[in-house]
Amino acid sequence: MTRHIIKSCLVAAALLTSAPAFAGSLENLERERSIMVSYLLDADLNVAQREEKIAFSKRRLADLERIALKDKALKESRSPLVLKVFKNYEMSFLVHSAAESGRSMPTHWLEGIGLSTSDLLNARSMK
């Protein structure tokens, strides 16, 4: 039960912290990012399966982030949504910002939503 609550909270946090979907490159990026987060949180996957899926997702995500960063149409946009995506670089461009911070992408994302390793260990110990 607790596990389900944590999972729901994490998904909700992911949705809240993520930028809303925007047409084109940002929409594709957002879709792939949510797939990656779902792999990260999928309790039915074992460690090896998760790593494999995240590796595939990471490569696609890297390409989609590059596409979004080079999308000229976005520069002409006045949308506050686009502004929010780029202002929130750490959570929007996970692969690039993880490489910048020198952490793994899952760790970077979890810390981005306010969950450190010790927080997770504490949550487990409370169970």
Q: Give yes or no for a contact between 61 and 32, defined as CB atoms under 8 angstroms apart.
A: yes
Which residue type occupies 94? Answer: L
Among 12, 83, 121, 123, binds another protein (CB under 8 A): 83
Which residue type occupies 59? Answer: R
Quick one: 11 or 86, whose CB is closer to another protein?
86
Quick one: 79 or 117, whose CB is closer to another protein?
79
* Nearest-approach distance from CB 93 to another protein, in angstroms: 7
* Nearest-approach distance from CB 39 to another protein, in angstroms: 14
d(CA 63, CA 69): 10
Cα 58 versus chain centre, distance: 10
Residues 62-81 that bind another protein (CB under 8 A): 62-63, 65-67, 69-70, 74-80
- 18 binding another protein? (CB under 8 A): no
Query: What's the alpha-carbon Rg for the chain, to the nearest Å?
Result: 15
Packing angle, helices 94-101 and 105-112, rounded to 10 = 100
Binding segment (CB under 8 A) for another protein, from list 17-25, 29-37, 82-90, 107-115? 82-90
Number of alpha carbons in the 13 Å side-chain half-sphere of residue 24: 11
Catalog residues that contact another protein under the rule CB under 8 A: 55-56, 58-60, 62-63, 65-67, 69-70, 74-80, 82-83, 86-87, 89, 93, 95-97, 99-100
